[in-house]
Amino acid sequence: MRDEAIVRVLYNTGARLSEVAGLQLDDVDMNNDSLLFHGKGAKDRRVRFGHKAGRALSKYLRARAARKAGPQSSAVWLPQNGETPLSANGIKLMLRRRGDLAGVPNVHAHRWRHNFAHEWKLAGGDTGDLMFVLGWASDDMPRRYGASAAAERAQITHARLRIGDRV
């Protein structure tokens, strides 16, 4: 349950690994389907998540609250045994292990961040909004992440217009 919730949060928010690992219970707002991420440069931002991520997160948080000893930590992600919160490195190892089990090489959190930006731009999302959601301060990042989406949009437009068939 925990691992599914982590993957869905990464996929659905585009958050950095360190931001997901650093989540505290007070950062989770299930009423508004949002998470408060503490990003680089001590910049906080609230990001909404979708239905599937919310369902996985809710299921995990209920199971977490029902643990026998009663968790004392305010960190969201706890190990299966013990109270020491799961670190960014622990999540990184879990993702690699899950990827290996699924036969998918090179699984890492940044893959979902890049995919999030790609899908956002492909859907015609606003660059300024993307910068806010992903916690970017520089215009360089959307250009870097958006290059693959720009190429894909150009191919789609080319196919739609059937450029070359008109000659």
What's the half-sphere exposure (Cβ side, CA atoms, 13 Å) at 21? 16
**Highest-scoring range by mean pLDDT, 34-43, 48-57, 72-81, 141-150:** 48-57
What integer pLDDT is reported at residue 154 of this predicted model? 74
What integer pLDDT is reported at residue 17 of this predicted model? 96
Cβ–Cβ < 8 Å for 132, 142: no
What integer pLDDT is reported at residue 59 of this predicted model? 98
Structure confidence at residue 142 as a pLDDT band (50, 70, 90): confident
Residue 14 sits at φ, ψ, to 5 deg, of 70, 20
Nearest to 118 by CA among 22, 1, 14: 14
Q: C-alpha distances in angstroms, 88 versus 105, 134, 146? A: 19, 18, 26
Question: What are the pLDDT digits (tens) for 76-98?
Answer: 999 888 778 999 999 999 999 99
Mean model confidence pLDDT for the chain? 87
The domains of the chain are located at: 2-161
What integer pLDDT is reported at residue 123 of this predicted model? 85
Cβ–Cβ < 8 Å for 27, 36: yes
Q: What percent of the chain has pLDDT over 70?
A: 91
**Highest-scoring range by mean pLDDT, 18-22, 110-114, 139-143:** 18-22
Question: What are the pLDDT digits (tens) for 10-48?
Answer: 999 999 999 999 999 999 999 999 999 998 878 899 999
What integer pLDDT is reported at residue 58 of this predicted model? 98
Q: What is the CATH number of domain 2-161?
A: 1.10.443.10
Return the DSSP state at 40.
G
